[in-house]
A = this chain, B = another copy of it.
Amino acid sequence: MPNPDLIPPGSAGEALTPYLHARAADFLRSLRHHTECGADTAGAEEATRGLRAAARRISGTLHTFRPLLDPAWADQLRAELAWLSGTLAAEHACTSRLVRLVDALARLSGGTATVPAPRSGGGSGAQSLAVGAARAGALLERQLTLARTRAHSAALQALGSSRFHAVADAVALLASEVPLGPAAAAPASEVLGPPAEVVERLLLDAVAALPMAPAVGGEQLDGPWHQVRLLLRLHRYAGEVRGAEPLLYEAGRALDRHRDAAEAAAAAATAARTPRIAPATAYALGVLHADQRHEVEAARYAFQRAWQRTAVTT
C-alpha cells in the first residue's frame, strides 16, 4: 500500500481518500451509536440506517473507482459490505412493507376517503372489500411480523459475529488509510472522470432500455427498473466523490417507491397463496396487489418525468 504521505497533490488518490475516510468515519460513528443505544430502541434503528448508508457509499465507491484502488482489497470489502447491508436492510424492509400495505388497505376499503351520503343500490366494491380487508390486514401483519422478527434476530446475530468484526476492522483501517492502486497517483483531472463516466454510460443505456409494461401482468419486467435504481445510486455516489451537487434526487426517490410498491405487491400475492384463506380475504389481497402494481406504474411515470427534467445528458 502506498504511504499516504506520498499521495501526490492533485492526484486521484487525493480526491478519493477524504471521501472514503469520511464515509468510514460515518460508519464507525453509527456503529458506536448502535452499541450505546442498545438493541430495540429508536436510536438503534437510526444507527442501523446510518451504518447502511455509509456501507452503501463505501461499497459504491469501491465499485466505481476500483481501477484506482487495490482491486483485491476493494472486491473483498465490497462483498462483505453487501452482505452486511443486505442483512441490516431486511428488518426495516419488513416494517415499511407492512405499514405500506396496511395503509393501502385502509385507503382501499374507504377508511380514509371522505364519505358522502351512502350510495344507493348494492354492488359496491367497497362494501365487499371491507369484509376481507380486515382479515387480509391481520394475515399480512402475522406474516410480515414473523419475517421482521426473523430479520431482526439475523441482524443482531450478524452484528455480534466475527465476520462483522472483520468488516468493522477493515472500515476502521479505511478511516485512516485507503489502499490505493498505482493509477491513483495520476492527476485527478485525468483518471477520476473515466470510471464515473463508465457508470454514467451504464445508467444512460439502462434508462434508454427501460421497458414499459402493464401495471399488473408485467411483474417480470421489474428487474431493469431495479437495476436502474442501483446504477442511479452509484452515479450519485460517484458525483459525491467528485464534489458534485446531489444528482437526480427526485428520480431516485421515485425508484425507491417503485421498489417498495413492487415488493409490497409481491407480499400481497404471496399472502393470497396462504392455504385455507377465505375468498373475501383473497379478494382483498387481489385488490391490494393490483393497487400496489398501479403504484409501481405511477412511480415509473414519476421517474420518467423527473429524469427528463433533470437528466444527465450525453
Contacts and interface: CB of A to CB of B under 8 A. Distances in A.
Interface in A286-309: 286-291, 293-294
A124 interface: yes
Contacts of A114: 213
A118 interface: yes
A275 to B, nearest CB: 9
Interface residues of A, number: 58
B266 A220 contact: no
B129 A294 contact: no
Interface in A225-247: none
A119 B286 contact: no
Kindly report how many copies of this chain are found in the complex they form together: 2
A220 B265 contact: no
Contact of A113 (B109, B127, B218, B293): B218
Interface stretch (A35-43, A90-98, A168-176, A277-285): A277-285
A182 interface: no
A269 B223 contact: no
B290 A286 contact: yes
Contact of A220 (B115, B128, B273, B283): B115
Interface of A: 107-116, 118-119, 122-129, 132, 211, 213-223, 265-270, 272-273, 277-291, 293-294
14 contacts: A107-B214, A107-B216, A118-B220, A125-B266, A125-B269, A125-B289, A129-B216, A215-B291, A272-B283, A277-B279, A282-B282, A283-B283, A287-B290, A294-B294
